[in-house]
Amino acid sequence: MSILVTGGAGFIGSNFILDWLGQSAEPVINLDALTYAGNLENLARLEGDPRHRFVRGDIGDADLLARLLREHRPRAILHFAAESHVDRSIHGPEAFIQTNCVGAFRLLQAALAYWEGLAGAERAAFRFLHVSTDEVYGSLAPDAPPFREGDRYAPNSPYSASKAASDHLVRAYHHTYGLPTLTTNCSNNYGPFQFPEKLIPLVLHNALSGLPLPIYGDGLQVRDWLYVADHCTALRRVLEAGRTGEVYNIGGGHEMANLDLVHALCEVLDARRPRADGRSYREQIAFVADRPGHDRRYAIDAARIRQELGWRPAESFRSGLEKTVAWYLAHADWSAHVTSGAYRAWVGLHYGEAA
């Protein structure tokens, strides 16, 4: 048996593969286009491991998908591959439509054809797990209850709209064709290997480089923070025991304003890597113009996955943040390669021009 993971060189996908192969002998076929946020350095410890087969390719390539499914006969597809940065979606939405909508459609088509060709126990056991985001639900008022699985979709950015479209496609393929799908909608992830366009690694990189720590608007936008390793255990549990056709919200249960998060991050850095002048990294905070359509608050009600599947996050926000800072401080070479362009040059040399 094996599983097929799309986007397995990205932040959450690579963490999932490392977690999976840390606990299982079941092989992983890792399909990733190696766009700017895909990084094979994330998976360096798996070099030479026969359980990990990396394939560079696009989820929009129907012929490649059909060949991989035919050759490897995976018992599950876990779909992580996505364009995911809201700011990039505002300035260049077309890539988000192509990957998150058209790519998801092509992957569903390939999965359906493959599943319909299975028989008996293989057909009954097959699962298609679609990894999505809480942003599809829109923005919450300060006193509103957290997002639940049945809440109305109200996406407010090209990114969240494209993910909402893919969620609806997954639902449709289950209800129309019977494809055994599972969908998860997660809150903001953080942890090792996150590309430094997202808030926590961006602040870490800028703080250590003596650069301003940019905060949109008044910094009071609230997010629910989920340590990536906890997300991985939740996905394993949904794949193992989730009811087909269902949606499971995955959240860390740690709501925090962006400004408070940056203050907490500065506090950890002040203790672990003090500035040479003895001052706090907080002095580098700089407020910048808010981005268009910035959602004010997200929060996840994770009651379903807790009650049905027995999952709870293992990390508190503080423990997860301490682990995250420790990882980035210990892996300065990874951040340097990503931010300097050295990694992209390596991809170009070994794989040709990046997609």
Which amino acids are annotated catalytic?
A: 134-135, 159
Beta strands in the chain (DSSP E): 3-6, 28-32, 52-56, 76-79, 127-133, 181-186, 188-190, 213-216, 222-227, 247-250, 255-257, 285-288
The answer to whether the beta carbons of residues 259 and 298 sit under 8 Å apart is no
Residues 6+ apart with CB under 8 A from 263: 282
Q: Name the DSSP letter for residue 290.
A: P
For helices 199-208 and 317-330, give the axis angle rounded to 10 degrees.
50
The answer to whether the beta carbons of residues 26 and 46 sit under 8 Å apart is no
Q: Which of 165, 174, 182, 80 is nearest to 128 (CA)?
A: 182
Euclidean distance between CA atoms 239 and 232, whole angstroms: 11
